[in-house]
Amino acid sequence: MSAEASVYPVPEFASSTTHISSEQYKTMYQQSIKKPDVFWAKQAQIIDWVKPFKTVKDTSFKKEDFRIKWFADGTLNVCANCVDRHLPHNKDKIAFIFEGNEPGNVRHISYEELYHHVCRFANVLKKHGVKKGNVVTLYMPMIPEAIYAMLACARIGAIHSVVFGGFSASALAGRLDDCGSKIVITADGAQRGPKTIPLKETVDLALTKTKKATVQKVITIKHTGAGCHMKEDQDVWYHEEARQVQDECAYEEMGAEDPLFILYTSGSTGTPKGVLHTSGGYLTYAALTHKYVFDYHENDIYWCTADVGWITGHSYVVYGPLANGATSVIFEGVPTYPDAARFWQVIDDHKVSIFYTAPTAIRSLMSKGDDYVTRTNRSSLRVLGSVGEPLNPEAWHWYYNLVGRSTCPIVDTWWQTETGGILLTPLPGAMSLKPGSVARPFFGIQPALLNKEGKEIRGAGTGSLVIKESWPGQMRGVYQDQDRFFKTYFDTFKGYYSSEDGARRDKEGYYWITGRMDDIINVSGHRIGTAEVEAAINNHPQVAESAVIGIPHPIKGEALFAFVILKMGADVKAVFDADLLQLIGRNIGSFAKPETIVIVPGLPKTRSGKIMRRILRKIALGKTNEIGDTSTLSEPRIVNKISELVLAAQ
Ligand code: 7RM
């Protein structure tokens, strides 16, 4: 049976209790497309406005009159929406359950406490001269103070730029130079499983590498207790500063289109782009998607495992859940520490009902065996989510059957740093699920598939995934480079937002992400998504993970090359070639059988867990001298190991 043939209809109990039923989805979706102004004017009431907006949507993707503005004449404060407005009714409600790296290190933070922490932080920033429109860089562990700092920026109208705590000093320096940050907020160190990472030391090193020397102050949080070298006039301890200020701070009234944050993301070419998001539209979209996609209700305990260094952390750890007044778990550690049961243990400990994580984590835990899961209970779970990469059907079934005890809908959510929030996803209670598919568009999203000539494909088909009309959460620019914004996203296909992803639409209108457009491989005229082949390979019981790339082939045009990681203790001989090839033949077709399969101990991944196929392509072609900088990989040494194995296999 082909893995995608399975369909999971909406269970009876779900449709009667969720916010949105199938019928409501259809009606609301139609309205959101036909009358976007009416629809968004109403939905934007999910947040509080200081001055109500009169105009709703003012957007065009055409070069002549290119503009993206939402609710432009309205004013609000994002921090006040996430914190202050919950105080009258919910001041004692828990905003965050902090689960530290070490089991047992747990802190509960109520909305009232959050308010005072944020105000104090805002006052410290003000004391150091931070003003509306200034950029503040955060280089932080996943601790509550990271969130206080983000909200403090939003409160006083400063723009935060969070750099993931796993990035190197050079990467941090490049980002500091690009945005001209005057202030850096960091911590003495971060704890990730058995490792301690010296953040402040890395900031010190980064400051020796910056070209523009814009940074004047480094504010350091005491967290691990590691000693830090404190430079006079530059370095201050947060706890000493905090003692000198009040815990009340009025918020700035901001325009809906005032910048909220920038977040650097790598594109296919050039240096990382500072993706700019603004206030009103972004918050509306983050809050609305958080409510409907996860079917969030007041008493849920919500846990998104993302780090605040990524967009998922911004929209679905901080802004969406807080705007909705949710109680969230935030987790400092890693899924495998002290052992591979940690996620499931934390779910039991805090009675988590909504759990949102990444396929890379799911697959890695899957490879450790089922016992880690089955020794826990997980009966509090109601909705499961996935983001960041295709969730292959084998991992989907494991997540669904084992983790979710076959009772929790899985929302496989497709979106990007650029989109601000989720665009394609099932809604629990409204849509049947197809393992491997990201289902349908969220309200207001008009996806289209374009062929090579840039023409829209009707009905079932495969093509470039583009979006036809603006939505409130969309990025508003590349920081200080508006030309690059237009060129990167709106020039390839005139009049559309180009996602650079490929997708297939089946005859029921469900979307299947086939991978980045450069990951579509054409073998003898067959369009093959690397994700599809990987899904087939991963179906093998002894396979933990795989990555498939295309390399030029004299007869077929392109040929597939597969890198496969086996589960611990797997029998290499039994898995190799014949077995795997058969499986691919069965799942997709003989045309999708890779020319080469190499068993490897690991894959080159970015720190957020994305496989760097560009590097694999160079390795497969024997062009290791062209790989270039590998410092952004989580394990740079893996590149040499794989190269050796590929050479040996040829
Ligand atoms: C949220 C995030 C964006 C890229 C995107 C895709 C891939 C994300 C899915 C997915 C298949 C998914 N932002 N991607 N979600 N592919 N299924 N559900 O990850 O900017 O870091 O990455 O990630 O290729 O373009 S991101």
Cβ(383)–Cβ(357) below 8 Å: no
Query: What tokens does 507 get?
Result: 């005859």
- Spatial separation of the C-alpha atoms in residues 626 and 603, rounded to whole Å: 18
Looking at the DSSP bridge assignments, the partners of residue 261 are 160, 277
Helices (DSSP H) in 441-481: which residue ranges?
A: none
Instruction: Report the residue among 164, 263, 308, 415 best suited for mutation to probe ligand 1: largest number of ligand atoms under 8 A from its CB.
Output: 415
What pLDDT, on a 0 to 100 scale, did the predictor assign at position 1?
Answer: 38
Q: Which of 233, 209, 203, 205 is nearest to 221 (CA)?
A: 203
- Cα(415) to centroid(ligand 1), Å: 5
Q: How far are the Cα atoms of 597, 600, 637 from residue 564, in angstroms, in the given order?
A: 7, 6, 17
Residues in contact with 76: Cβ distance below 8 Å, sequence separation at least 6, in sequence order = 47, 48, 49, 50, 253, 254, 256, 279, 280, 283
Cβ(385)–Cβ(414) below 8 Å: no
DSSP character at residue 626: G
Residues in contact with 242: Cβ distance below 8 Å, sequence separation at least 6, in sequence order = 120, 121, 124
3-state DSSP call for residue 599?
strand
Ligand 1 atom nearest the C-alpha of 424 is 18
Burial profile 164-181: b = 16 or more Cβ within 10 angstroms, e = fewer: bbbbbbbbbbbbbbbbeb
Query: What tokens does 294 get?
Result: 């996860």
- Spatial separation of the C-alpha atoms in residues 92 and 3, rounded to whole Å: 47
Q: What angle in degrees, to the nearest 10, is found between the helix axes of 22-34 and 36-43? A: 120
Q: Is the CB of 532 under 6 A from ligand 1?
A: no
Q: In degrees, to the nearest 5, what angle opens at C-alpha 448 toward C-alphas 443 and 454?
A: 155
Cβ(615)–Cβ(606) below 8 Å: no
The closest residue, in CA terms, to atom 3 on ligand 1 is 416
- Spatial separation of the C-alpha atoms in residues 618 and 622, rounded to whole Å: 6
Query: What tokens does 383 get?
Result: 């909705």
Q: Is the CB of 513 under 6 A from ligand 1?
A: yes
- What are the two backbone dihedrals, phi and then psi, of residue 425, each rounded to the nearest 5 degrees? -175, 155
pTM attached to this predicted model: 0.86
The closest residue, in CA terms, to atom 5 on ligand 1 is 416
- Spatial separation of the C-alpha atoms in residues 346 and 244, rounded to whole Å: 36
- Cα(546) to centroid(ligand 1), Å: 17
The closest residue, in CA terms, to atom 10 on ligand 1 is 389
In a 10 Å sphere around its CB, with 0-12 CB exposed, 13-18 middle and 19+ buried, how is residue 222 labelled? middle
What pLDDT, on a 0 to 100 scale, did the predictor assign at position 363?
Answer: 84
Q: Is the CB of 501 under 6 A from ligand 1?
A: yes
Query: What tokens does 9 get?
Result: 């209809």
Residues in contact with 49: Cβ distance below 8 Å, sequence separation at least 6, in sequence order = 71, 74, 75, 76, 280
Instruction: Report the residue among 387, 399, 489 best suited for mutation to probe ligand 1: largest number of ligand atoms under 8 A from its CB.
Output: 387
- Cα(476) to centroid(ligand 1), Å: 19
Residues in contact with 44: Cβ distance below 8 Å, sequence separation at least 6, in sequence order = 53, 56, 71, 74, 280, 284, 472
- Spatial separation of the C-alpha atoms in residues 444 and 40, rounded to whole Å: 8
What pLDDT, on a 0 to 100 scale, did the predictor assign at position 312?
Answer: 96
Query: What tokens does 553 get?
Result: 């082939």
- Cα(60) to centroid(ligand 1), Å: 25
Looking at the DSSP bridge assignments, the partners of residue 504 are 462, 512
- Spatial separation of the C-alpha atoms in residues 632 and 271, rounded to whole Å: 12
- Cα(230) to centroid(ligand 1), Å: 39
Q: Is the CB of 311 under 6 A from ligand 1?
A: yes
Q: Which of 390, 383, 359 is nearest to 4 (CA)?
A: 390
Instruction: Report the residue among 418, 513, 612 best suited for mutation to probe ligand 1: largest number of ligand atoms under 8 A from its CB.
Output: 513
Query: What tokens does 612 get?
Result: 């760097």
Q: Is the CB of 598 under 6 A from ligand 1?
A: no
DSSP 229-256: ---TTTEEEHHHHHTTS-S--PPPPEET
Q: Is the CB of 275 under 6 A from ligand 1?
A: no
- pLDDT block averages, 10 residues each, the chain of length 650: 69 85 97 98 98 98 97 98 98 98 97 98 98 98 98 98 86 92 97 93 95 96 95 97 98 98 73 90 98 98 95 97 98 96 98 94 89 98 92 92 96 96 97 97 98 95 96 97 92 94 95 77 69 85 91 79 89 74 80 89 86 90 84 83 87
First vs last Cα of the chain: how many Å apart? 33
Q: What angle in degrees, to the nearest 10, is found between the helix axes of 169-179 and 199-209? A: 60
- Spatial separation of the C-alpha atoms in residues 207 and 222, rounded to whole Å: 20
Cβ(323)–Cβ(289) below 8 Å: no
The closest residue, in CA terms, to atom 11 on ligand 1 is 390
What pLDDT, on a 0 to 100 scale, did the predictor assign at position 557?
Answer: 67
DSSP character at residue 417: G
Decide the pairing of beta strands 461-467 and 159-162. unpaired
The closest residue, in CA terms, to atom 13 on ligand 1 is 416
Task: Output the 3-class SS for 55-119.
Answer: CCEEEECCCCCCEEEECCCCEECHHHHHCHHHHHHHCCCEEEEEECCCCCCEEEEEHHHHHHHHH
Other C-beta atoms within 10 Å of 561: how many? 24
Looking at the DSSP bridge assignments, the partners of residue 414 are 424
- Spatial separation of the C-alpha atoms in residues 481 and 473, rounded to whole Å: 19
Query: What tokens does 514 get?
Result: 């086939």
Query: Residue 437: what residue type?
Result: S
- Sheet containing 383-387, strands listed edge to edge, beginning at the edge strand earlier in sequence: 106-110, 94-99, 327-331, 301-304, 354-357, 383-387, 410-413
